Amino acid sequence: MPTSTPVDPSAPNSPSAPNPATPWWARAARPARPPLPWAPMARAALAMALALAAGLLAHRVDLGVFAGLGAMHATMNDRVEPVRLRARRIATAVPASALGMLIGSALQHAQVGALGLGAGLTVTAFVSGALSATGPRGSAAGLLLLVSAALGSGMPLPHPWWAAAAVLPAGAVLVLLLGVPLRGRRTPGADPAVRALAAVYDALGRMLADLGTPRGSASRQVLTARLNQLQDVLPPLPRHPGTSPGATAHRVHTMYRAALAATEAATGLLWALRPVPPEVAAVPGLLARAVEGGSGAEHSAGEVPVPDWAPDTPSRQALDAALRAAAATVAGREAALGTAPAPPPDPWRLRVRLVSPGAARYGARLALCIAVGAALTAALPLSRSYWVPMTIAFVLKPDLGSVFLRSVSRAVGTVLGVAVTAAVLSLAPGPWALVAIAALCVALLPYATAAHYGLNTVVMTPMALVLLQLGGQDGAAEFRPRVLDTVLASTIVLLFGHLLWPERPRHRIEPRLVSAAAALKAYLASVVRQDGPEPRSEVWLRRTAYRALADARAEVERGLAEPPPTGRLAAEWLPATTALERLSGAVAAFAAQRRYGGRVPERAEVERVGRALDELTAAARAHRPPTGAAARPTRPHDPSRSALGRAADELDTLLAGRPPH
């Protein structure tokens, strides 16, 4: 199930700062402990209950079941976000679901036979896979396109046959409308962008408190994840020059840019092992409370005092200046940030990704598994053959985690889910009780998805079987066939989508590392050639680099949860990932040295770092993880020495295995 919620590395059982010695199976079985998303859970339960209740009251429960499916598919893409982002996310996924349902229903209605059905689902699978490679929204749309096509090809259809696709969006609209805030009931702190900004400042305060401790790296990962979340929910700025943004959007963007400057300074201090006084580390927490207390266009938060602490290094001076600028923006005053608003997205990026080799590779991989599944379901006496392609679509999602883990978790979760459903249906509940059970299951879906894929399956299986029972089928008769179908589909994915397909870290981790190295090189170049306090483009090059590093770290951690050889290869790339993360801190420290120490870049140092990045990029493209063991320095960085010099030493040690100069 798609989810873009980042894992908090400081949370219990979090995979942050992974230890390669931890067995892969222990890492794979360990669930996360996300907070309960109360708002999406409540919307999901109410929308499912309303859809099914309307079907019962209208004596068209068959239509109610498909409307309930639409509510479930919208819930899979619901987030705690501004209404415009929720609408965009759901409006991307649910039409793909309706189109898939129309395709599957048409195949079933035309009675095309096993060969035609398999061919139709295989073509749909290729398109689904190509869409999934375009990004999170494309991944959600591609998944639901194939899942709904599989469901439409096998589920009993209402009359007329196309009504299933027509009513499916109705449940999704319920989920969307239930999240629209009532006019006049919204408080300033209820804005998701404001909450995300406050979360960034809280994470920044935690990182400042952890400077110089073993917890610093994990705190930095939390801060990067919070910045990614904030960037995703920022209100849009006008695309056309000369158009003035709204007061609220302008204010939030200004505070965001101030937070980015404070983040860079803190990252440089983390790399330099330079702690700050506790009263300074407490300032971001005060800023977070001020942001939550007054953030609308007509609101002005109180002044947050920044202590006079006499910063004695360039990085500390950069942090002091950034915190004072952030306090000014939170209080509603103008501050000299020296940066430009975020650039608009490139409209060609989606089209390039859609026709990229990665999209074609994943589309072919998914189509192969669907074709094998169609051939086996045609040859075997399966009662509901649509369950096999549907399961393949859910399991074969490498962008959502380890395929191996998802295959095993799907099989185990289905067995547990069937056991739960058997216990419930043995009580012979009436239709209204089944509606309540379905609403409870869909309410648990957002939490289960964020916690563990196995738990997600435990929740989703009873919901699917209860919907079948409501639709007039015998849910109890589906128990044994559903387990067999799930085991068959998981086996197909393991054999044809995992073991026999060349999808290894070289196709996932190494391209991410190449992208991160390129982004860091661009960020370094902008710092080196700066001719003022801070170039307007530097902040966005820095943000791009940090986000690329977070993506690389996420891919490494996914690989560590898989059995050898994937897990072993991921562990071999872990030191390089950590080295790139440390290099980002070194560049941030060097940027502070340039701005507050007046340091002139030494060409030899810049070239050494550039050569090291080129060598690491070449190693990633040649599938050769570095073998050096670069030990982290244990003493604070000498501010009189260039930060790039020590960074070059660390990279040389990693790449060549030779001691630093």
Residue 235: what pLDDT? 74
What tokens appear for 270 in the block?
Answer: 């983390």
In this structure, the dihedral spanned by the alpha carbons of residues 113, 114, 118 and 119, taken in order and rounded to 10 degrees, is -50
The stretch 390-416 carries a mean pLDDT of 84
Q: Which residue has the higher pLDDT, 473 or 289?
A: 289
Q: Is the pLDDT of residue 241 over 60?
A: no
| 232 CB-near residues (< 8 Å, 6+ apart) | 4, 81, 85
Band (pLDDT 50/70/90 cuts) for residue 19 is low
Position 349 pLDDT exceeds 60:
no
Highest average pLDDT, of 69-73, 374-378, 592-596, 597-601, comes from: 69-73
8 Å CB contact between 278 and 260: no
Q: What angle do CA 104, 145, 552 make, to 5 degrees?
A: 155
Looking at the predicted structure, is the pLDDT value of residue 239 above 70?
A: no
pLDDT value at residue 302: 62
pLDDT of residue 3: 38
What is the DSSP-derived secondary structure letter of residue 238?
P
State the pLDDT confidence band at 632, using cuts at 50, 70 and 90: confident
Low-confidence winner among 4-13, 111-120, 183-192 (lowest mean pLDDT): 4-13
Summarize the confidence of residues 496-501 as an average pLDDT. 78
What's the confidence (pLDDT) of residue 527?
86
6 has pLDDT over 80? no
In this predicted structure, the answer to whether residue 133 has a pLDDT above a threshold of 80 is no
Digit-coded pLDDT (tens) for 359-369: 777 788 889 99
**87-117 pLDDT per residue, tens:** 888 988 999 999 999 999 999 999 988 889 9
Query: What share of the chain in percent tops pLDDT 70?
Result: 82
Q: CB–CB of 60/158 below 8 Å?
A: yes
d(CA 120, CA 145): 12
What predicted TM-score, i.e. pTM, was given to this entire model?
Answer: 0.76
User: CA 259, CA 311: separation in Å to the nearest integer?
Assistant: 19
> Residue 185 pLDDT more than 80?
no
6 or 556, greater pLDDT: 556
Distance CA 390, CA 385 (A): 9
428 SS3 class: coil
Q: Where are the domains of the chain?
A: 37-180+348-499, 189-236+247-330, 506-656
Task: Please say if the pLDDT value at position 44 is more than 80.
Answer: yes
| pLDDT number for residue 443 | 93
Q: Please write the tens of the pLDDT for every residue from 149-162.
A: 999 998 888 989 99
Average the pLDDT over 418-429 and give the result.
85
Q: Is the pLDDT of residue 444 over 90?
A: yes
Give residue 475's pLDDT. Answer: 58
Please report, rounded to a whole number, the percentage of residues in the chain having pLDDT higher than 90.
33
What residue has token string 């507050």? 596
Mean pLDDT, the chain, as a whole number? 82
Residue 122 confidence (pLDDT) above 90: yes
Which of 133-147, 319-333, 624-638 shows the highest mean pLDDT? Answer: 319-333
The model's confidence at residue 205, banded by pLDDT at 50, 70 and 90, is very high
pLDDT given for residue 46 in this prediction = 94
